[in-house]
Amino acid sequence: MILQVDNLAKSFDGFIAVAGVSFQIEKGELCSIIGPNGAGKTTVFNIITGHLSMDKGRVVFNGMDISRLPAHKICRLGLGRSFQRINIFSRLTVFENIQAAVLTHRGKSLSFFTSVQPLFQEETEEILVSVGLQDHRDAVSGPLAYGFQKQLELGIALASNPKMLLLDEPTAGMSRQETKGTIELIGKIVREKGLTLLFTEHDMSVVFSISERIMVLHQGQLIASGPPDEVRTNQDVQKIYIGESRCS
Amino acid sequence: MSRQNWILIAILVLMGLIPVTGSRYYVFLLTDILIFGLFALSLNLLLGYTGLVSFGHAAYFGIGCYACGLLIKKAGLSFGIAFAATGFFGAAAALIIGFFCVRLTRIYFALLTLAFSQIVWAIVFKWNSLTGGDTGIYDINFPKFLDSRTKYFYFTLAVVSISVLILRKIVNSPFGRILMTIRDNPERTEFIGINVKLFQLLAFIISGFFSAISGGLFAVFNHSIFPDFCYWPVSAEVLIMTILGGMYSFFGPLVGAAVLLYLRMEVTSYTVYWPFILGTILILLLFFFPGGIVGFIENQIKRWRSSK
């Protein structure tokens, strides 16, 4: 088991965002958390990665209790993440974005007098290729197309050489075609590197193609967990999704 | 060696030749520019590289002034030792003040830096027995081995050049690169495994160190020091220099200091309405040259190259 979440709870000013969520993820598993908007997916992610503090509960990663650790320490333990909205270093080039993460991972971030430019060229290049950004190496990342920025986010997360990846809606805002490509890319990288993957989505169709296990979050609680076919036929899950599409 | 380095050496040599012209006016002005240029560059380590707006950098400049001045006049130390210690006083103050400031973000960070600098000013202003209060400290003379404006100019040129070299090394280092990621996105930087507050604090300390060095240079250059050097208009002025020159280019703040000090010198010899001129410059800058002077020039060069 690589990740264990016990009875996680969090409320914001009386609004209960996460109400006692527990789950476990085995090493090498490809899991997803789905649920309608506002179900608490991002909050769960933010708590696991140390971005938010929890009211109650416990998170154990790779045998270590990380419940109270700050985000940067959790990252160093091998838990990489991406964000729902674009979160990159927009004045830096694509190469520099990834290189910064690589050099941090290699423990070089506190050297003051060596030149940064020639550092970790090969490693950075390798990641650029694996996320398909080698042609945009020297482009400043801020003005890049949305899809490329999403790929770059993935690249930054990979650059810390994580054991496990948490991707928060990696295909948010993408067209069907882009979504398909991105999901294939993620699946390929995760399998090649033998990573454990946990990602969130609100679009069900995306999830079934890649997940080995799907967890369904609704109003801050897990209401189902299992292989895609089982979840698809689960009555509670159908109710939520059909109910939601009627409303919208 | 790169072309940029050759250009820098050429500029350095040209500056070194200024005293040969025999113009006392330019020697004086250039010393002033070098000192405030270093001050602006060290502020820019925070502003342009780390994305932290310090509204209280006069504190470290002032602490540099008073550290140097007091060590010479009150402690009776030689200029060499006093000046060498100056930077460490600035760094120590920045460590203490920065420790609290990096806990806040954006406007709250800026306000807290301002608050601390006003406290420094109040202490300097009120502690009569040590600082001389409002009357300041007089007769801080040139040391024997630098007993003329020209010699002191060369000393300033040397100190500023070495400081600039070190600062340039730092911003081009892995540490400097991480500062830029913090500037662009502190949240994301946390998630590549960086203790963001620690890096911000380190940048703050380095900035305080070099600000104090510039203050120390100024104390002796000016022969006297006053509480005004710690007061908030000095913070505002160095901020203006930095933005005027361009905070996203390494040498921008130095250029900003040069332009502002030169203009002030020229304008005040014609009219007393310098603040009016300064305000106009600022408005033009904010609307038409958001990247500052150097940013504007860099853009023009880029455009010219891509049109070829």
Rg of chain A in Å (alpha carbons)? 18
Read off the pLDDT of residues B37-48 as tens digits, 9 standing for 90 and up: 999 999 999 999
Confidence of residue A246 (pLDDT cuts 50, 70, 90): very low
Confidence of residue A244 (pLDDT cuts 50, 70, 90): low
Mean pLDDT of chain B: 93
CA terminus-to-terminus distance, chain A = 38
> How do the residues of chain A divide into helix, strand and coil, expressed in percent and rounded to 5?
40, 25, 35
Chain B, residues 227-266, CB within 8 A of chain A, namely 248
Q: Residue A40: which of A210, A173, A202, A242 has the closest Cα? A: A202
pLDDT at A245: 52
φ, ψ of residue B52 to 5 degrees: the values are -110, 125
Confidence of residue B308 (pLDDT cuts 50, 70, 90): confident
Residues A130 and A151: their CA atoms lie apart, in Å, by 10
Confidence of residue B258 (pLDDT cuts 50, 70, 90): very high
Residues A183 and B118: their CA atoms lie apart, in Å, by 55
Confidence of residue B229 (pLDDT cuts 50, 70, 90): very high
Residue A181 has pLDDT above 90, yes or no: no
Q: Residue B100: which of B112, B88, B92 has the closest Cα? A: B112
- Amino acid (1-letter code) at residue A1: M
Query: Are A110 and B185 a contacting pair at CB < 8 A?
Result: no
- Amino acid (1-letter code) at residue B116: F
> Any chain A CB within 8 A of the CB of B274?
no
Provide the pairing of β-strand A213-218 with A221-226: antiparallel
DSSP for B231-293? SHHHHHHHHHHHHHH-TTSTTHHHHHHHHHHHHHHHHHTT-S-HHHHHHHHHHHHHHH-TTHH
CATH number, domain containing residue A156? 3.40.50.300
What global pTM score does this model have?
A: 0.91
Domains contained in chain B, CATH given: 29-307 (1.10.3470)
Q: Residue A98: which of A162, A186, A157, A169 has the closest Cα? A: A157
Residue B290 has pLDDT above 90, yes or no: no
Q: How far A136 CA sits from the closest chain B CA (Å)?
A: 18
| Tokens of residue A188, six digits | 């390929």
Chain A / chain B CB contacts < 8 angstroms: 100
Q: How far B49 CA sits from the closest chain A CA (Å)?
A: 11
pLDDT at A14: 86
Read off the pLDDT of residues A97-118 as tens digits, 9 standing for 90 and up: 999 999 999 999 999 999 999 9
Which of A206-210, B108-112, B122-126 is predicted with the least confidence, judged by mean pLDDT?
A206-210
Give the burial string for A221-238 (b: 16+ CB within 10 Å, else e): ebbbbeebeebeebeebe
pLDDT at A175: 82
> Any chain B CB within 8 A of the CB of A1?
no
Q: How far B180 CA sits from the closest chain A CA (Å)?
A: 8
Mean pLDDT of chain A: 89
Number of domains comprising chain A: 1
The DSSP call for residue B270 is T
Residues A190 and A174: their CA atoms lie apart, in Å, by 20
pLDDT at B139: 87
Query: Are B175 and A112 a contacting pair at CB < 8 A?
Result: yes
Torsion of CA B85, B91, B93, B95, to 10 degrees: -150
Question: Tokens 């050759």 map to which residue?
Answer: B6
pLDDT at A239: 81
Query: Are A90 and B184 a contacting pair at CB < 8 A?
Result: yes
Residues B66 and B226: their CA atoms lie apart, in Å, by 9
Q: Which of A80, A100, A112 sits opposite B170 (nearest CB)?
A: A112
Query: Are A72 and B195 a contacting pair at CB < 8 A?
Result: yes
pLDDT at A230: 87
Structural domain for A62, as ranges: 3-247
Residues B305 and A109: their CA atoms lie apart, in Å, by 34
Q: Which of B175, B192, B248 sits opposite A156 (nearest CB)?
A: B192
Residue B21 has pLDDT above 90, yes or no: no
pLDDT at A247: 45
CA terminus-to-terminus distance, chain B = 26
Residues B191 and B154: their CA atoms lie apart, in Å, by 46
Residue B289: how many CA atoms within 13 Å on its side-chain side?
21
SS3 of A40, please?
coil
Q: What is the ipTM of this complex?
A: 0.88
Question: In terms of pLDDT, which residue wins out, A232 or B127?
Answer: B127
> Any chain A CB within 8 A of the CB of B195?
yes
pLDDT at A242: 66
Residues B296 and B285: their CA atoms lie apart, in Å, by 10
Average of per-residue pLDDT across A182-201 = 90
Residue A85 has pLDDT above 80, yes or no: yes
Chain A residues with beta carbon closer than 8 angstroms to that of B176 = 116
Q: Does residue A152 contact residue B188 with C-beta atoms inside 8 Å?
A: no
SS3 of A8, please?
strand
> Any chain A CB within 8 A of the CB of B171?
no
Query: Are B178 and A72 a contacting pair at CB < 8 A?
Result: no
Q: Residue B87: which of B61, B113, B69, B122 has the closest Cα? A: B61
